[in-house]
Amino acid sequence: MSFNALIIGASSSIAQAAVTLLADNPECRRIFTVSQCPLNFSTNKVTPLLCDYSDSSIHNICKTLKPYAGSITQVLICNGILHTNGLNNQPIMPEKKLEDINTEQLIHLYHCNTVVPMLWISRLLPLLISEQAVKMAVFSARIGSISDNKTGGWYSYRASKAALNMLIQTSAIEYARRAPNVKLVAFHPGTTDTPLSKPFQRLVPKEKLFTPEFVAKRLLFVLDEAEVDQKAAYLDWNNMPINW
């Protein structure tokens, strides 16, 4: 059965690899990509959309997509940050100890990793009401699991992903009533060879450092296998459940 796909945060390496895979899928008719900067893709299946990820900009994107309501059955929300070169002239890196915590970093990571994906989950709901199964993957991380936290540290990133997981769980309850054919998946991609993980790759075993292409393949496989059961799932790249 043919379908349309929506990829948000399309400038990320995994998202771009997913675009390539979906473009090669004859059942995928159109791929809508959302990014802050213009992107070039070597396929005429892609319809690129620019967004600054403000509430009003997300609202306008959803208005643009309204004619395709009910036909978008794969959604990838790939937004998120772990570190940046600077915020208020200070670099952002994961906190190693309590003294490293500061208000600006907590708020910034919460906005990027939690608020922005949640705005998409909220605003997309009317477009995803469909008689077909709809699969939505939101990029989370194993580090967002409260029960799995054995090492501490990385306060802002952990908290932002844990909060995102709670919002996905809570959204799934409402989606079950209003758009029951939608499956929400909090997806952990593993450590992927991208700019996000670059400062932290030194201690990662070679076999545990994945290419974006590998993760994109696993992501689409996980979505294909996901059961539409009106419940949120928290899954890793190997399609294994993670404890919330």
| Least reliable range by pLDDT among 89-93, 129-133, 189-193 | 89-93
> Contact at 8 Å (CB) between 5 and 72?
yes
Task: Please say if the pLDDT value at position 207 is more than 70.
Answer: no
pLDDT for position 89: 62
Token reading at 56: 């009003």
Domains of the chain, with CATH numbers? 3-236 (3.40.50.720)
Cα separations in angstroms, 60 against 50, 53, 54: 10, 10, 10
b/e per residue, 131-161, with b = 16+ CB within 10 A?
eebbbbbbbbbbbbbeeeeeeeebbbbbbbb
pLDDT tens digit sequence for 171-184:
999 999 999 999 99
180 vs 206 pLDDT, higher one: 180
Distance separating alpha carbons of residues 148 and 59, to the nearest angstrom = 35
DSSP state of 43: -
- pLDDT band (50, 70, 90) for residue 191: confident
pLDDT for position 196: 64
Distance separating alpha carbons of residues 174 and 115, to the nearest angstrom = 18
